């Protein structure tokens, strides 16, 4: 199993303290809470570049690799042994419980096999190798073996010899002198001459792209596959799914060497082949920053100076996706981009390292380094105002946070099914090509950049004005267009019963106002998912004694109801006997109570029209089920025709606005 640097959670670099860096909230010399992607940010002259160059030039004498591996493997082994305890002697069980590191002993497999064989002998039963192997496989699951191999790889890995590569601020694909990398010479002269290490450092400026592509395309099958993977990345994120070929062109004219022989060419879809320097500056910058991580298979720490140069916000997000596609590597990059700061809020695989300059009373300068720094403080230091940040190009208005979470899953599944259809034998070649092109285009759209969800919290929709003509002096409503010009508003079916609200919204938004056919977004969850999630919650409920939950014999399309929410529909499958321990005035699934007081009289309160009581926990469970995949890394469910139609409308809206 190959080691993946994305799992490194801290690195120790003793030379940092000798170079006037003070690491806050960490062990001596250690950069804590590292992630695969580490953005080093700070004001001008704070020491950001000096910080990453110090790590580049220094010896890393220690690192922590996925601290959770031992705990996860121990839990997996204990569960397996407990399930097979009839075959495993007690002393062996106790051995693992008392020493979790014992699981990574190279003799463990043999010891367990011997213990199982001895047990069979003790009960006067012969054991063949087949019998022993069957029991051993019950203990050593594939998941456990993968965890053990991953941990052993981390122990064998020599962190001191780890490969490092530097991408300086002087870079580009326009070769200035064919036989000389002047960008590299300038970089070595400025930053690395005193170390006399310029000749041994891996520095990529873009000058050697031609040679790198030649070596990879003429190299091993794995190297050739890395080029294909990189071309697919460019196709998905920049060229709307069109085929991309990168070609280190060789002129066949033997009369004289061609100037094109050190220039990489690129072919996009059916367009003519052309030199890569004819692409836009942004695409050239992306190629310079991303090609080496894709081509380099050996685990490498990349150090990059200000990658945001020539990259707009969408490209900065695409750059992060490129880094994620190379889990064997680790990245440190300096930046002053607030968009990279925003991205750290969305994912836990990006770490923000703050570098500040401080001068003490004696006039000595130190750079204060803090890993996982506070985002808002950093933005303030950079002078970023709210008006400085680009707003999303369009907005999708939904009732609440659960609506947003369900739609996020559905939109992703729509893309998954669209990509699958591009390989379907049921479609014509033209239809497959159209599906592939659209899937590639939609993959380039990112939430919070190309579109954003806005939660209006049900009846609070009346606080917003959706017409451009709304006069702020004549109405107390907030003009929605000031927040986002292009709006798609989704509303639950019961909005029909709320006065003139529907007519007002239809007049203001036209086709960009969508009323759900069924009561709530939860009614659109595929029935099998609702059933599985409901079972899990029923098992967690208290006071179910004396109550029965009949969820197995549902009619088809049971939850497709315009008046009753899934809370009421699920509650209707619960029957209570006289011995039920559930309080009469409470429900399991429905939000509300079985009875209501009218004056002094207590009346029965039907479950029709009810939403689900455990709205957020149920959403957590349903989303987790929908996100899970099988052994072939495929989703276990399909969009319903209604969900497919809804997702198509949302994606079409996003396309129109971008």
The larger pLDDT score, comparing residue 40 to residue 553, is at: 40
Average pLDDT over residues 275-287: 89
Please give the pLDDT value at position 593.
Answer: 57
Residue 232 lies in a domain: no
580 plus 467 within the same structural domain: no
52 plus 133 within the same structural domain: no
Which percentage of the chain shows pLDDT scores above 70?
70
Please give the pLDDT value at position 608.
Answer: 43
d(CA 634, CA 620): 20
613 plus 573 within the same structural domain: yes
Average pLDDT over residues 460-468: 72
Name the band, by pLDDT with cuts 50, 70 and 90, for residue 387. very low
Long-range contacts of 554-560 (CB under 8 A, 24+ apart): 554/527, 556/527, 557/527, 558/527, 559/518, 559/522, 559/523, 559/525, 559/527, 559/530, 560/518, 560/523, 560/642
- Contact between 606 and 563 under an 8 Å Cβ cutoff? The reply is no
What average pLDDT does the chain have?
79
Question: Which residues on neighbouring strands pair with residue 354, listed in sequence order?
Answer: 41, 370
Q: Is the pLDDT of residue 148 over 70?
A: no
Please give the pLDDT value at position 29.
Answer: 77
The larger pLDDT score, comparing residue 379 to residue 312, is at: 312
86 plus 110 within the same structural domain: yes
- The domain boundary, picked from 103, 126, 156, lies at 156
Please give the pLDDT value at position 470.
Answer: 52
Question: Which residues on neighbouring strands pair with residue 244, listed in sequence order?
Answer: 268
Residue 567 lies in a domain: yes
Concatenating the DSSP letter of every residue in 566-630 gives HHHHHHTTEEE-TT--S-TT--SSBSS-SEEEETTEEEE---TT--BTTHHHHHHHHHHHHH-B-
d(CA 233, CA 236): 5
Which percentage of the chain shows pLDDT scores above 90?
25
Please give the pLDDT value at position 365.
Answer: 82
The larger pLDDT score, comparing residue 312 to residue 646, is at: 646
The larger pLDDT score, comparing residue 428 to residue 71, is at: 428
Lowest mean pLDDT among 157-171, 418-432, 570-584: 570-584
**Sheet of strand 300-304: strand arrangement:** 21-23, 365-371, 350-359, 37-41, 330-335, 300-304, 163-167
607 plus 572 within the same structural domain: yes
Coil, strand or helix at 16: helix
377 plus 401 within the same structural domain: no
Tell me the Cα Rg of the chain.
Answer: 30
Average pLDDT over residues 585-612: 62
- The domain boundary, picked from 121, 156, 191, lies at 156
Give residue-wise pLDDT tens across range 86-144.
Answer: 555 555 555 555 555 555 555 555 665 566 556 555 555 555 666 556 666 666 667 66
Please give the pLDDT value at position 132.
Answer: 58
Concatenating the DSSP letter of every residue in 463-503 gives GEE-STT--TTT--SEEGGGT-SSEEEEE-GGGGGSTTHHH
Please give the pLDDT value at position 386.
Answer: 47
Average pLDDT over residues 81-88: 58
Query: For the chain, how are helix, strand and coil distributed in percent, rounded to 5?
Result: 45, 15, 40
Please give the pLDDT value at position 201.
Answer: 87
Residue 193 lies in a domain: no
Choose the most confident range, by mean pLDDT, from 77-86, 307-316, 578-587, 641-650: 641-650
499 plus 645 within the same structural domain: yes
The larger pLDDT score, comparing residue 656 to residue 143, is at: 656
- The domain boundary, picked from 366, 390, 414, lies at 390
Give the rounded distance of the alpha carbon of 234 from its chain centre: 19
547 plus 401 within the same structural domain: no
- Measured in degrees and rounded to the nearest 5, phi and psi for residue 173 equal -100, 0
376 plus 429 within the same structural domain: no
Name the band, by pLDDT with cuts 50, 70 and 90, for residue 156. low
Residue 176 lies in a domain: no
Q: Is the pLDDT of residue 451 over 80?
A: yes
Range of the domain at 341: 1-60+299-390
Q: How many domains does the chain have?
A: 4
Can you read off the two tokens belonging to residue 65? 């690799």
- Residue 441: exposed, middle, or buried by beta-carbon count in 10 A (0-12, 13-18, 19+)? middle
Please give the pLDDT value at position 543.
Answer: 67
The larger pLDDT score, comparing residue 617 to residue 63, is at: 617
Give residue-wise pLDDT tens across range 166-222.
Answer: 999 999 988 778 778 999 999 999 988 775 555 578 999 999 999 999 999 999 999
Residue 96 lies in a domain: yes
615 plus 541 within the same structural domain: yes
Name the band, by pLDDT with cuts 50, 70 and 90, for residue 607. very low
Q: Is the pLDDT of residue 502 over 70?
A: yes
Residue 267 lies in a domain: no
- Residue 190: exposed, middle, or buried by beta-carbon count in 10 A (0-12, 13-18, 19+)? exposed
Say if pTM beats, i.e. exceeds, 0.85: no
Q: Is the pLDDT of residue 599 over 90?
A: no
d(CA 280, CA 482): 32
Average pLDDT over residues 446-469: 77
Residue 130 lies in a domain: yes
492 plus 403 within the same structural domain: yes
Please give the pLDDT value at position 216.
Answer: 93
The larger pLDDT score, comparing residue 555 to residue 150, is at: 555
Average pLDDT over residues 437-458: 85
503 plus 644 within the same structural domain: yes
Residue 227 lies in a domain: no
């Amino acid at each position: 199993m190959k080691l993946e640097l994305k799992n490194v959670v801290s690195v120790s670099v003793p030379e940092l303290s000798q170079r006037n860096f003070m690491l806050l909230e960490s062990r001596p010399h250690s950069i804590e809470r590292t992630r695969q992607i580490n953005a080093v940010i700070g004001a001008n002259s704070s020491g950001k570049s000096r910080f990453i160059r110090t790590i580049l030039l220094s010896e890393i004498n220690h690192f922590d690799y996925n601290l959770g591996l031992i705990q996860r493997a121990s839990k997996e082994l204990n569960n397996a042994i407990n399930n097979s305890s009839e075959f495993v002697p007690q002393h062996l069980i106790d051995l693992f419980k008392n020493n979790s590191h014992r699981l990574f002993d190279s003799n463990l497999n043999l010891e367990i096999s011997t213990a199982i064989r001895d047990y069979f002998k003790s009960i006067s039963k012969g054991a063949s190798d087949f019998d022993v192997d069957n029991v051993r496989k019950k203990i050593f699951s594939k998941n456990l073996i993968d965890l053990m191999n991953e941990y052993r790889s981390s122990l064998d890995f020599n962190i001191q010899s780890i490969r490092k590569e530097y991408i300086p601020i002087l870079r580009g694909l326009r070769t200035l002198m064919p036989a000389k990398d002047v960008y590299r010479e300038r970089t070595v002269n400025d930053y690395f001459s005193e170390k006399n290490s310029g000749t041994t450092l891996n520095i990529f400026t873009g000058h050697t792209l031609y040679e790198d592509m030649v070596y990879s395309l003429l190299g091993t099958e794995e190297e050739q596959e890395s080029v294909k993977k990189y071309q697919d990345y460019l196709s998905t994120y920049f060229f709307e799914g069109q085929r991309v070929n990168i070609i280190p062109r060789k002129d066949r004219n033997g009369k004289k060497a061609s100037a094109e022989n050190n220039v990489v060419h690129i072919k996009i879809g059916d367009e003519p082949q052309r030199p890569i320097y004819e692409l836009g500056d942004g695409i050239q910058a992306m190629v310079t920053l991303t090609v080496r991580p894709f081509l380099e298979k050996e685990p490498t720490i990349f150090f990059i100076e200000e990658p945001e140069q020539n990259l707009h916000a969408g490209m900065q997000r695409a750059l992060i996706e490129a880094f994620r596609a190379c889990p064997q590597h680790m990245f440190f990059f300096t930046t002053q981009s607030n968009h990279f700061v925003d991205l750290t809020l969305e994912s836990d695989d990006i770490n923000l390292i703050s570098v500040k300059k401080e001068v003490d009373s004696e006039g000595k300068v130190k750079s204060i380094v803090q890993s996982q720094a506070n985002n808002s403080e950093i933005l303030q230091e950079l002078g970023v105002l709210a008006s400085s940040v680009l707003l999303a190009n369009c907005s999708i208005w939904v009732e609440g946070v659960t609506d947003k979470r369900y739609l996020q899953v559905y939109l992703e599944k729509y893309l998954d099914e669209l990509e699958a259809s591009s390989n379907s034998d049921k479609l014509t070649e033209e239809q497959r090509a159209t599906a592939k092109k659209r899937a590639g285009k939609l993959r380039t759209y990112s939430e919070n950049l190309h579109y954003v969800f806005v939660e209006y919290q049900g009846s609070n929709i009346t606080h917003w004005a959706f017409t451009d003509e709304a006069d702020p002096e004549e109405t107390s409503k907030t003009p929605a267009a000031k927040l986002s010009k292009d709006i798609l508003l989704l509303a639950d079916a019961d909005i029909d019963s709320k006065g003139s609200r529907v007519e007002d919204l239809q007049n203001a938004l036209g086709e960009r106002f969508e009323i759900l056919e069924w009561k709530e977004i939860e009614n659109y969850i595929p029935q099998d998912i609702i059933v599985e999630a409901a079972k899990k919650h029923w098992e967690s409920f208290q006071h179910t004694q004396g109550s029965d939950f009949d969820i197995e014999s549902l009619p088809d399309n049971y939850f497709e109801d315009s008046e009753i929410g899934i809370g009421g529909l699920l509650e209707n499958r619960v029957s209570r006997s006289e011995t039920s321990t559930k309080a009469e005035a409470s429900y399991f699934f429905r939000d509300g109570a079985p009875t209501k007081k009218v004056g002094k009289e207590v009346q029965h309160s039907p479950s029709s029209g009810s939403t689900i009581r455990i709205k957020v926990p149920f959403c957590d469970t349903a989303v987790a089920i929908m996100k899970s995949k099988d052994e072939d890394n495929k989703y276990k469910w399909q969009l319903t025709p209604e969900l497919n139609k809804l997702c198509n409308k949302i994606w079409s809206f996003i396309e129109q606005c971008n």
